[in-house]
Amino acid sequence: MALVVQKFGGTSVASIEHIERVAKRIAGYRDRGDEVVVVVSAMGKETDRLDELAKSVGDSDADFRREVDVLLSTGEQVTAAVLSMVLTKMGYPAKSFTGGQVKILTDASHTKARILDIDTDNLRRELSQGTVPVVAGFQGVDSDQNITTLGRGGSDTTAVALAVVLEAKECQIYTDVEGVFTTDPRVVDVAQPLATVTFEEMLELASQGSRVLHTRAVEFASKYKMPIRVLSSFSDAAGTLITNEESHNMEQPLISGIAFMKDEAQLMMLGVKDIPGIASRILGPISDANIEVDMIVQNVAADKSTDFTFTVRREDYERATAILESVAQEIGAREVTGDNKIAKLSIVGVGMKSHAGVATKMFKVLSEESINIQMISTSEIKISVVIEEKYLELAVRALHTAFGLDAS
Amino acid sequence: MALVVQKFGGTSVASIEHIERVAKRIAGYRDRGDEVVVVVSAMGKETDRLDELAKSVGDSDADFRREVDVLLSTGEQVTAAVLSMVLTKMGYPAKSFTGGQVKILTDASHTKARILDIDTDNLRRELSQGTVPVVAGFQGVDSDQNITTLGRGGSDTTAVALAVVLEAKECQIYTDVEGVFTTDPRVVDVAQPLATVTFEEMLELASQGSRVLHTRAVEFASKYKMPIRVLSSFSDAAGTLITNEESHNMEQPLISGIAFMKDEAQLMMLGVKDIPGIASRILGPISDANIEVDMIVQNVAADKSTDFTFTVRREDYERATAILESVAQEIGAREVTGDNKIAKLSIVGVGMKSHAGVATKMFKVLSEESINIQMISTSEIKISVVIEEKYLELAVRALHTAFGLDAS
């Protein structure tokens, strides 16, 4: 017998039939004697519908944000009520809670509020009576009882926060995929679900595109050492357990997964005088234009001049090039060049920290496939390379096999 | 400068365009310096949609009612948020309130809660800052912070209750008709909107079919002497003012309106021995069968036997006849007969209290049209007759003209 927090996302509660399936899963845990606290998102596309209603009034003016929260929070409230009815009808007494009823105290930053405190009295009282509390995710109240919402991925954050304050055994996040994969299964069919992954790895994998769980919830869980299990509400697979601990499995491969990002572009300024402050002279005007810069690499050449390279989203390529050409004239750089048909690929794994050979192996695999590496950047648990986009799938497949990630 | 409470029903807020029209009306009052507290219903058919969602789970089990309230209350919350946004965008600062945020304290009878107390502090604070509070109608919270709803006509009740506690000048109920009419305009084209009507008259007119306002809200307003104005959100007509006071207008006609009910049936038991308790011997089995009885008339005949007559809904005619025949045998009545093609027609007016000639005039008008009266029943401000249904429209038209209700 243990306490688990279970969060069901929009696709898991899209219809009455979906909600009945979710209820059966919860009932299974109750039958085994576990205590369950449930967190739900809005049904299917309900949040989109409410969002459009808000947008039909006008731009998201700061004055509107209080009311946007009042509007959006109804989506989760509806799901919580319906799931509570279904559970009660099945013989498992349940009770819905809005964020305010729990209560989940947040700051007053409407549409992107942060949780300050959670009162566990009401939930513990229901648990002690054998009731399943069904909490509307994504929402709270500020100290003046105004309804607030937590922004993107808010229901995941609600679930993790409740798991932390209730000292749950784990926080289960149900979604429409079977966990965290070695790489994006929509793109590469050799992708495999991972049994375990660390928070660090998860953050690297998620921020690179394997989105199953919001970064903010992962950071929160990592901070409070709350194990998260990501699993599908449509299957009985065990999903992926995300913890702070590295796996001690001897068979654990050196890397956990491969993340990638398409639709990137690379810009280079060649022959730049290597003097202090040159990087900000180059990147300042780019960020002033609200262009997001991802990888940055600088090499010092033999003649005391340097080549400066960085990547941006492909849609920003033309604007960034124009800005860079004007900067190049000012600072007397030799040439501006670029490539808008590139992709970024990263191998991620806590195992590589203690294995110097991982990078060498990666480069060798790519070279054997005659794939040219245009940029390299490394961190403790990640090695990222930029390659021509047309080779991306080939590269992922080759690395997936070489690092032992294919199904055995 | 005065404080008014304005309630907008579902058809008045059915779309963003409708809500913008409503906002302009509120803005007009603000421009004239009035303070406005707004109460809204759910948008268009939203309550029906949520109701179907609840029903899709199963029958309205008592265990479900708490959750049905959680579900249904979101409809009004959405409207309150959207109208607040629209008003704010137009330059009239507004702020939505759920029943819990006001707070409107009710008993714990989910789906049919009654208001116990209303805290006016939050609303007064907003009013003093020049903000328009927009309150989600139909809802409150019980003493344990559970969301409750007030049942049918609940938003009207919210509006009247707020008007009473805030000591408003009047409570305006906006709907899709131009007020209370002399008779049902859908059936008789000579129907005219009334400038004023008393609560008593309104109750008689409404319970007879001219439904524009829920009886419960009218009773509430009458009890606390809060003037209600019923008017259309689609026109600039002044609507109908409902008060406790009789009009002192010399031109005021003797009667205010004509109510009628079709689809009625009449049952007669002839030659009943006139002994104490005979009425309950006859009607007891009828009400045991859950058949609703409307008019009841009993005459004592010369030979100490009596004829007993009453009306029921036409759909109950066959069942009521069968029951009556078995009762007639038991008590030795002479005959059971009936008519299932009748209608009931009532003239209503506080003016008739002091004018004995009203009944005589009514009977004369009907007689001139050769309409036979099958039953008569009178109260202080109402005279009801039963006639053949096929003469109903002719009768309403003739009385409407005779009592000076036609447009001048």
The number of CA neighbours under 13 Å toward the Cβ of A389 is: 12
First to last CA, chain A: 34
**A61 contacts B71? CB cut-off 8 A:** no
User: Which residues does chain B have within 8 Å of residue A21's beta carbon, measured at their own beta carbons?
Assistant: none
Report pLDDT for B247.
Answer: 58
Q: Does the beta carbon of B104 lie under 8 angstroms from any beta carbon of chain A?
A: no
- Residue A235, min C-alpha distance to chain B (Å): 23
Helix (H) or strand (E) holding B154, with range, is helix B154-165
- Residue B138, min C-alpha distance to chain A (Å): 16
- Residue A116, min C-alpha distance to chain B (Å): 20
Segment A42-70 shows an average pLDDT of 88
User: Which residues does chain B have within 8 Å of residue A58's beta carbon, measured at their own beta carbons?
Assistant: 85, 89
Better-scored residue on pLDDT, A61 or A343: A343
Report pLDDT for B46.
Answer: 93
- How many CB pairs below 8 A link A and B? 102
Closest chain B residue by Cα to residue A93: B63
Instruction: Determine if the peptide bond prior to B7 is cis (ω within 30°).
Output: no
Question: Residue A246 — pLDDT band, cuts 50, 70, 90?
Answer: low
Among A74, A86, A95, A134, the residue to mutate for chain B (most B Cβ within 10 A): A74
Name residue B349's amino acid: G
Q: Is the pLDDT of residue A4 over 70?
A: yes
**B53 contacts A88? CB cut-off 8 A:** no
Burial of A390 (0-12, 13-18, 19+ CB in 10 A): exposed
Positions of chain B with pLDDT lower than 50, given as ranges: 209-210
CB-based contacts of A265, cutoff 8 Å, min separation 6:
A311, A312, A313, A314, A316, A317, A320, A338, A339, A340, A341, A342
Residue A321 in contact with residue A338, Cβ under 8 Å?
yes
Report pLDDT for A357.
Answer: 83
Cα separation, B22 vs B87, whole angstroms? 9
| Least confident interval from A107-111, A174-178, B184-188, B269-273 | B184-188
- Which of A58, A77, A89 lies closest to B89 in CB terms? A58
Report pLDDT for A179.
Answer: 86
Report pLDDT for B301.
Answer: 65
Report pLDDT for B58.
Answer: 80
Q: Is the pLDDT of residue A353 over 80?
A: no
**B77 contacts A74? CB cut-off 8 A:** yes
Find where tokens 């714990």 sit: B108
User: Which residues does chain A have within 8 Å of residue B84's beta carbon, measured at their own beta carbons?
Assistant: 67, 70
Among A18, A52, A78, A103, the residue to mutate for chain B (most B Cβ within 10 A): A78
Note the pLDDT tens digit of each residue in A14-35: 999 999 999 999 999 999 999 9
Cα separation, B326 vs A150, whole angstroms? 69
Q: Is the pLDDT of residue A336 over 90?
A: yes
Q: Does the beta carbon of A44 lie under 8 angstroms from any beta carbon of chain B?
A: no
Strands A104-106 and B196-198: unpaired
ipTM score of complex = 0.80
First to last CA, chain B: 34
Q: Is the pLDDT of residue A160 over 90?
A: yes
Report pLDDT for A151.
Answer: 87
User: Which residues does chain B have within 8 Å of residue A61's beta carbon, measured at their own beta carbons?
Assistant: 88-89
Burial of A408 (0-12, 13-18, 19+ CB in 10 A): exposed
**A71 contacts B78? CB cut-off 8 A:** yes
Cα separation, B40 vs B46, whole angstroms? 13
Cα separation, A47 vs A358, whole angstroms? 43
Segment A45-66 shows an average pLDDT of 85
Note the pLDDT tens digit of each residue in B125-159: 999 999 999 999 999 999 999 999 998 789 999 99
User: Which residues does chain A have within 8 Å of residue B88's beta carbon, measured at their own beta carbons?
Assistant: 61, 63-64, 67
Report pLDDT for A301.
Answer: 65
**Strand (E) positions, A132-234?**
132-136, 139-141, 147-149, 170-175, 196-198, 228-232
Domains along chain B with CATH numbers: 3-176 (3.40.1160.10), 257-402 (3.30.2130.10)
Note the pLDDT tens digit of each residue in A269-304: 988 887 777 888 898 999 889 898 888 888 766 677
Question: Residue A63 — pLDDT band, cuts 50, 70, 90?
Answer: confident
Cα separation, B351 vs B245, whole angstroms? 12
Report pLDDT for B315.
Answer: 93
Q: Does the beta carbon of B50 lie under 8 angstroms from any beta carbon of chain A?
A: yes
